[in-house]
Amino acid sequence: MKTKHLLLTALTAAIFSENSAQTILSEDFTTTMPFAWTQTPTSGLQWKHGNYGLGKTGCAVIYGDGNFGTKYLQVPKVDISKLDEPRLSFKVAVVQENFVIPTVSVVRDTKSGWQTLSSWAHGVGMIPIKQTYDFAPPLTDSNVYWLRVTLDLSSLPDSTDVDLAFAADFSNGGWVLIDSVRIYDASQVVYSLPYTQDFEGSAFLPKDWEDNSTDLLNQWEHSDNIGAFGNSKGCAYIDNYNNMPATQGSSYAMRTVLLDLSNTPNPVLQFDYAYALHSLNPESDILSVMYLYPGGNWTELVRYDNADLTTANKTQDMFIPNNAEWRTKVVDLSQFFGPAPVRFAINCFSYSSGNNVLYIDNVSFREKPTSSVGDGPQLKNIDVYPNPTSDKLFIDLGSEQISNVCIYDVTGRLIKHLAVNNKQSILQVNTDGWKNGTYIVKLESAGYSTTKRIALVR
């Protein structure tokens, strides 16, 4: 079953993960259509129970059957006046038939008519949505592509009597599927440092992370078989190879938890990443780190592209990194030391014609060690020999906990990368094919790095 869990900002600039806060409505359509959910109009096309939900646990589904018209599935009325940050979250899938995609909307009954809160389809004023195709009805669960949507309900008037509905609008058939509907309080939790997210859990996005995108054609996804440097089996990735952006510069952000840096005078953000440029494109996608103080605007802190982003050679295929094609970035966050909580985002701006896959792993916020560059106290016992060398090179790590070793030529070109197993105390490097000259050996530990110069003379 091709299921992908994606999130989208709609209605506001930020969306919020469902957490353990108060939930006042929850419906998974497990066995049948619930009695309290009504349909308007009562005749014609009908929302029905289907077995196409995630894990085949059930969902609400409506088939256009080549017809025209709109059918509303009404959510039971709720009182959201006592929720600090009310949210509606649900999963949605749209399946095209006869080359026409149906439109799905969330609407509100204003007592004088339906007010559209947000719509997804391909049309003016609508948010593009990724759909699947079915050329031989009936529908099967093999072509259902699930996406997750969360809407902010805090600006709705008459919050004591909120009447919402899902609207399926058909112009020539197709299917709309709805599942996992929740109305809940998404009051934000503030996290202290150190904080690390390794994407090893089954839930994605992780708890209290947010996702923000310009459309529903692409979103950050979770891999359960790829991890940084081969040390894990989980990471986040954005697939710009298979999912073409709607416009040049389409933005897909993965926003972190809200952080308290008041007790961390020298904070840093560290993360692992992997990316290869598509061989047919002259420019890479863009990775940026952004930040937001509550009540403010998102601001870019740093960006990486082209040589600053690529970790592997160009390829015309979908990029899947090997263990040596990962790198690490460390971003200084000392300007954020203070009492105000702050949120950060890892944001990908897609190249106009689509490009390749960007992977992110091991996102960590922590205090910067007192010796972040150079021979800090933990890195004094490393030895690189013989120097000069004419053949093999040996790196004695002693008792140091080194995670990566990178060797560069004097132009800065990466010659060799070693992902270090901490059980290894001496590394052996074969220099076959290297030219005579000076090389830089960079060794990285948790927050520390040091460099050694060696000469190769044959």
CATH number of 190-367: 2.60.120.200
List the Cα angle 358/359/364 in 5-degree steps: 130
Q: Which residue do the tokens 């923000």 mark?
A: 212
Answer yes or no: are the C-beta atoms of 358 and 240 closer than 8 Å: yes
- For residues 10 and 153, give the distance between their C-alpha atoms in angstroms, rounded to a whole number: 11
Q: Fill in the amino acid letter for 4.
A: K
Range in 3-7, 199-203, 274-278 the model is least confident about: 3-7
Tell me what pLDDT residue 125 has. 58
Answer yes or no: are the C-beta atoms of 272 and 232 closer than 8 Å: no
Q: Fill in the amino acid letter for 252.
A: Y
Tell me what pLDDT residue 251 has. 84
Answer yes or no: are the C-beta atoms of 357 and 239 closer than 8 Å: yes
Q: Fill in the amino acid letter for 229.
A: F
Cα 70 to the chain's mean position, in Å? 33
- For residues 166 and 154, give the distance between their C-alpha atoms in angstroms, rounded to a whole number: 18
* Structure-model confidence comparison of residues 274 and 152, the more confident one: 274
Name the nearest CA neighbour of 230 among 363, 328, 325: 325
Q: What percent of the chain has pLDDT over 90?
A: 29
Answer yes or no: are the C-beta atoms of 345 and 421 closer than 8 Å: no
Tell me what pLDDT residue 65 has. 79
Q: Fill in the amino acid letter for 94.
A: V
- For residues 60 and 180, give the distance between their C-alpha atoms in angstroms, rounded to a whole number: 10
The model carries a pTM of 0.66
Q: What percent of the chain has pLDDT over 70?
A: 83
Q: Where in the chain is the domain with CATH 2.60.120.200?
A: 9-185, 190-367
Mean pLDDT calculated for residue range 183-195 = 83
Tell me what pLDDT residue 150 has. 81
CATH number of 9-185: 2.60.120.200
Q: Where in the chain is the domain with CATH 2.60.40.3080?
A: 377-456
CA–CA distances in Å: residue 236 to residues 197, 220, 273, 318, 415: 10, 7, 10, 16, 27
Tell me what pLDDT residue 52 has. 77
Q: Which two structure tokens, joined as six digits, stand for 442? A: 């960079």
As to burial, measured by CB atoms within 10 angstroms (0-12 exposed, 13-18 middle, 19+ buried), residue 29 is buried
Tell me what pLDDT residue 245 has. 61
Decide: helix, strand or coil at residue 203: coil
Q: Is 155 left (phi over 0), alpha (psi -120 to 50) or beta?
A: alpha
What is the CATH architecture assignment of 377-456?
A: Sandwich (2.60)
Tell me what pLDDT residue 74 has. 96
CA dihedral 261, 264, 268, 271 (to 10 degrees): -70
Tell me what pLDDT residue 137 has. 56
As to burial, measured by CB atoms within 10 angstroms (0-12 exposed, 13-18 middle, 19+ buried), residue 257 is buried
- For residues 23 and 35, give the distance between their C-alpha atoms in angstroms, rounded to a whole number: 20
Measured from the Cβ of residue 144, the count of other Cβ atoms closer than 10 Å reads 25
- Segments of 69-189 assigned E as strands: 69-74, 86-96, 103-109, 114-120, 132-133, 147-152, 164-170, 175-185
- For residues 155 and 10, give the distance between their C-alpha atoms in angstroms, rounded to a whole number: 13
What is the per-residue pLDDT across 206-253, written as a single tens digit (0 to 9) for each? 888 877 777 777 889 999 999 988 878 899 999 988 876 655 667 889
Tell me what pLDDT residue 85 has. 78
What is the per-residue pLDDT across 201-210, written as a single tens digit (0 to 9) for each? 878 888 888 7
What is the per-residue pLDDT across 41-72, written as a single tens digit (0 to 9) for each? 877 889 999 887 665 678 999 988 777 889 99
Q: Fill in the amino acid letter for 402.
A: I
Name the nearest CA neighbour of 289 among 259, 273, 306, 269: 269
* Structure-model confidence comparison of residues 150 and 364, the more confident one: 364
Answer yes or no: are the C-beta atoms of 41 and 146 closer than 8 Å: no
- For residues 157 and 167, give the distance between their C-alpha atoms in angstroms, rounded to a whole number: 20
